[in-house]
């Protein structure tokens, strides 16, 4: 009896350890932090610090605190450029390569004007030499400028423009001749079901910080993905001030949409980012079977919540909850309309990485 109990405890421990290890390895975000000092070693508060990636358009701006320290959280894996500027000192640039969850620490010592300045162009900023995959990275700056990039349909439209991908009239995606087997991955957690306008609620584009579309040489950790992989890094409120937004819209075919966003942080220890949207159509949402367009109406609800807790400088706890649901009706033929049929396509997709 005692041996059986020990075996059960050991088995549970191995399972928990495996799950914990996988979760750590899959979350592809990092942290860049450091301190800015003058030639004598004195800290420089209020220094302007920029972290960007020229290819994807990723860009962050912050200033050093009273201790001369700066921090960038929720940084996607890539080669970034760090730039520091302070009045009365020469500007400073350096490459920051983020490839793990271990914080990248870059201490900056500024030089006085008139000192020799050497500018080095880092090739790794323009080319991911350490990645064998064929991939396209899209940052939130592009997603926000995209025409019609609204929560209800914008994501499929954007992915369909990437080389090797195509989109049908109803929003169904195809990748290299395949219309399935390309998972969406949020914060390193793959979604096993299809995410598009025909099968579930589309992911809200307002919650996306960056998106990586992998077309070829798909890494083995994605397993059965034959067409491609869409990896999404959600936005985080850990570096944002308290605030939010509210949007109300309407369009042809008696369609409408309402959405709001809440985000912010508490002492840079606890952050939250919440997006919620409701969209619907009272006349049309699919290509009708009959030209008279019978029974095409319904709606979609999307709720995305990202919570970050940073108890220490080296420890991060992330919770990401997403619930997407649709209740669109299936279009009728003339005979089905005469019979009064009201077939529904109902889909609710909870995700809790």
Structural domain boundaries in the chain: 26-125, 134-234, 243-351
Q: What is the dihedral of CA 183, 189, 193, 196, to 10 degrees?
A: -60
Between CA 90 and CA 237 the distance in angstroms is 32
Residues 99, 78: Cα–Cα separation, whole Å: 7
Query: What is the spatial distance between Cα 12 and Cα 228, in angstroms, rounded to a whole number?
Result: 34
b/e 84-98 (16+ beta carbons within 10 angstroms → b)? bebeebeebbeebbb
pLDDT given at position 34: 94
CA dihedral 154, 234, 76, 174 (to 10 degrees): -40
Q: How many residues does the chain have?
A: 353
Model pTM? 0.72
Contact 240, 270 (CB under 8 A): no
Q: Using CB atoms within 10 A of its CB, is residue 258 exposed (0-12), middle (13-18) or buried (19+)?
A: middle
Closest of 93, 90, 122 to residue 106, by C-alpha: 93
Per-residue pLDDT of the chain (353 residues; tens, 9 = 90+): 444 444 434 444 444 444 443 433 356 788 999 999 999 999 999 999 999 988 777 889 999 999 999 999 989 888 899 999 999 899 999 989 888 888 899 999 998 886 555 555 454 444 555 555 677 888 887 777 766 545 445 677 788 778 778 777 666 777 777 776 677 888 877 776 667 655 666 677 888 888 888 877 777 777 666 678 888 889 999 988 999 999 888 877 677 888 899 999 998 899 999 998 888 776 666 667 777 777 777 777 888 899 999 988 778 888 888 887 777 777 778 788 788 777 655 444 455 55
Q: Which residue(s) pair with 262 in the sheet?
A: 244, 274
- Segments of 179-316 assigned E as strands: 184-186, 189-191, 208-216, 229-234, 243-251, 255-266, 270-281, 298-309
Q: For position 196, what pLDDT does the model report?
A: 64
The reported pLDDT for the residue numbered 14 is 40
The pLDDT of residue 11: 42
Asked if residue 59 lies in contact with residue 141, where contact means CB atoms within 8 angstroms, the answer is yes
- How far apart (Å, rounded) are the C-alpha atoms in residues 197 and 125? 36
Q: 5 — phi, psi (to 5°)?
A: -65, -40
pLDDT computed for residue 295 by the predictor:
76
Instruction: Identify whether the C-beta of residue 284 lies closer than 8 Å to the C-beta of residue 296.
Output: yes
Residue 30's alpha-carbon distances to 24, 309, 314, in angstroms, are: 11, 14, 11
Residue with tokens 């997603």: 143
pLDDT value, residue 51: 94
What is the CATH architecture of 134-234? Beta Complex (2.170)
Nearest to 96 by CA among 73, 124, 128, 70: 124
Residue 166 confidence (pLDDT): 78
CATH fold for the domain made of 26-125: Immunoglobulin-like (2.60.40)
């Amino acid at each position: 009896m005692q041996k059986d109990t020990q075996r059960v405890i050991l088995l549970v421990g191995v399972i928990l350890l495996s799950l914990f290890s996988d979760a750590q390895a899959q979350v592809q975000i990092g942290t860049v932090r450091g301190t800015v000092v003058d030639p004598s070693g004195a800290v420089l508060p209020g220094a302007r610090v920029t972290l960007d990636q020229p290819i994807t358009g990723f860009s962050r701006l912050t200033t050093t605190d009273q201790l001369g320290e700066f921090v960038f959280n929720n940084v996607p894996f890539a080669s970034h450029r760090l730039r520091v500027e302070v009045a009365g000192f020469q500007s400073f640039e350096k490459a920051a390569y983020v490839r793990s969850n271990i914080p990248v620490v870059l201490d900056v010592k500024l030089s006085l004007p008139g000192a020799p300045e050497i500018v080095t162009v880092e090739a790794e900023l323009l080319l991911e030499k350490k990645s064998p995959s064929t991939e396209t990275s899209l940052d939130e700056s592009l997603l926000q400028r995209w025409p019609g990039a609204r929560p209800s349909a914008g994501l499929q439209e954007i992915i369909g423009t990437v080389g090797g991908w195509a989109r049908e009239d109803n929003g169904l995606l195809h990748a290299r001749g395949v219309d399935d087997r390309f998972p969406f991955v949020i914060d390193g957690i793959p979604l096993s079901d299809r995410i598009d306008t025909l099968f579930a609620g589309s992911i809200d584009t307002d919650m996306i910080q960056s998106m990586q579309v992998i077309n070829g040489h798909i890494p083995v950790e994605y397993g059965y993905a034959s067409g491609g992989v869409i990896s999404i890094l959600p936005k985080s409120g850990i570096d944002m001030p308290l605030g939010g937004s509210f949007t109300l819209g309407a369009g042809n075919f008696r369609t409408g949409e309402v959405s709001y966003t809440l985000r912010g942080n508490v002492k840079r220890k606890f952050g939250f980012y919440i997006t919620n949207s409701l969209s619907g159509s009272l006349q049309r949402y699919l290509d009708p079977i009959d030209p008279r367009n019978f029974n095409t109406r319904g709606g979609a609800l999307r709720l995305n919540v990202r919570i970050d807790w940073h108890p220490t400088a080296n420890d991060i706890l992330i919770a990401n909850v997403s619930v997407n649901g649709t209740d669109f009706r299936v279009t009728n033929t003339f005979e089905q309309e005469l019979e009064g049929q009201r077939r529904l396509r109902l889909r609710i997709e909870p995700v809790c990485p």
